[in-house]
Amino acid sequence: MKHALHLLAASLLLTTTVAQAQTKFSIPPLSPTTHIHQNFSTSYIDLTYSRPSLRGRTAFGGVTPYGTVWRTGANTITKVRFGEEVKINGQVVPAGAYALLTIPDAKEWTFILNRDTAQWGSYEYKQALDVLRVKAKPTKLAAPVETMSLTVENLKPASADLVMTWDRTQVALPIVADPDRVVMGQIEQAMKGEKKPYVSAAQYYYNTGKDLTTAIGWLDESIKANPNSYYAYYWKAKLLQKQGKNQEAIAAANKSMEFVKDDKNEVSKAEYTRLNQEVLTAAGAKK
């Protein structure tokens, strides 16, 4: 009987131990990982990194020594991916993924892009795999920032800043793209295909100050294919008015107004009625 009880107790203990071993629980990470996907130029900038916090420490010159290569975050290496070719400090960086490392210093930082995106931290960093090294001046903040961040700021069609902020330090890496080269290449290729992007190409020419006569020709081709397109007529009116051809602009805007009346969508009907009225006013149409 005692032997049986001992076997039962051992069995229960084993079952409890296994159950405890299989129990899953979550612990708040000290340096949580984050992923940022930022549309930029004609593609994007991706960032993946872990965010350390001060927790009563000093960031630079303290937990992160000056003059040494830093993973620019915590845990594994920080990664940045460019969806297209960019320039940093005048140097070409091909599209692709890179390890983002830095060398902090009180007066000047070094930003590094390195080919080894599989390294853990910066312990196995090899300078021979660097793609880029550039300098940047840090800014001292009035108040400390508890948690380190990497963000993409000052977004413009062809430029942005990759900004690191932690403790009382902020430092920015300017990034420059060439979207016009990319878009013009896309337009050239698309115009060789069957479905030509006449209206969107004309819009790009309007917005970037390119040859409006070519753009108006594309809109005429779009109107040939779809004679009742209030959308194409509206853009033709905008381009003509920008050229100073006000009477032709008025005629195109009136055509757009005529066809938009048949739009079953009351929202777009109201919107393009308003937009055409703006063109008519700018072209000096009589009320």
Supply the CATH number for residue 263's domain: 1.25.40.10
Say yes or no: 146 and 194 in one domain: no
Tokens read off for 265: 């969508």
The domain boundary residue, chosen from 177, 201, 219: 177
pLDDT at 45: 98
Q: Note the pTM of the prediction, 2 decimals.
A: 0.81
DSSP state of 66: T
Say yes or no: 76 and 38 in one domain: yes
pLDDT at 108: 97
CA atoms of 216 and 234, how far apart (whole Å): 11
Structural domain containing residue 146: 33-177
Say yes or no: 73 and 155 in one domain: yes
Say yes or no: 72 and 55 in one domain: yes
Say yes or no: 152 and 272 in one domain: no
- Residue 127: CB atoms within 10 A of its CB come to 10
pLDDT in tens, 206-217: 999 999 999 999
Own/partner contacts of 215-223, CB < 8 Å, gap of 24 or more, are 215/239, 216/240, 216/243, 221/196, 222/198
pLDDT at 250: 95
Say yes or no: 131 and 213 in one domain: no
- 223's enclosing H/E stretch is helix 212-225
- Residue holding tokens 């130029």? 41
Say yes or no: 113 and 195 in one domain: no
110 has which bridge partners? 103, 135
Say yes or no: 225 and 173 in one domain: no
Instruction: Report yes or no on 172 lying in a domain.
Output: yes
Residues of the chain with pLDDT under 70: 1-22
pLDDT at 20: 54
pLDDT at 17: 52
pLDDT at 26: 87
The domain boundary residue, chosen from 144, 177, 210: 177
CA atoms of 248 and 153, how far apart (whole Å): 42
Say yes or no: 113 and 190 in one domain: no
How many domains does the chain contain in total?
2
The domain boundary residue, chosen from 159, 177, 195: 177
**Checking DSSP bridges between strand 109-114 and strand 130-136, what pairing results, if any?**
antiparallel
Instruction: Report yes or no on 188 lying in a domain.
Output: yes
